[in-house]
Homo-oligomer: A and B are copies of this chain.
């Protein structure tokens, strides 16, 4: 039950448009999708680099997970997502090893992926996401 690669790195930003300019003009990456996830009160922008995506996250409301994160810690690295062949088995296996799960079973995420989060209290401070196609 080993991840195949880093699926994405989530980065909280105050201003999505300005941050996109940095990733495009300075790093030479190409934003290939912008998506609003209303129930998370967040607007996201995606870039591909090798096997991994960069997912920029701007809060659409202060009272939201990303809004609160920025208020507490400032903008910056937010979460780390590992790709698994079988997300539910990976979540179940972590749960059996007494890892605190935010999602006991996977739920639908961006880009048609199944996703589930592990609590940072169990993962040495890193908000950790498991995701994959099945």
Contacts and interface: CB of A to CB of B under 8 A. Distances in A.
Given A49-B82, A82-B49, A9 B11 contact: no
A124 B49 contact: no
A113 interface: no
A95 to B, nearest CB: 10
Nearest to A15: B124
Contact of A26 (B6, B50, B79, B99): B99
Nearest to A74: B125
A77 B126 contact: yes
A52 interface: yes
Category for how many chain A residues contact B? 35 or more
A112 interface: no
Given A27-B82, A52-B6, A52-B51, A13 B97 contact: no
A125 B11 CA distance: 9
A28 B12 CA distance: 28
A80 B77 contact: yes
Nearest to A28: B2
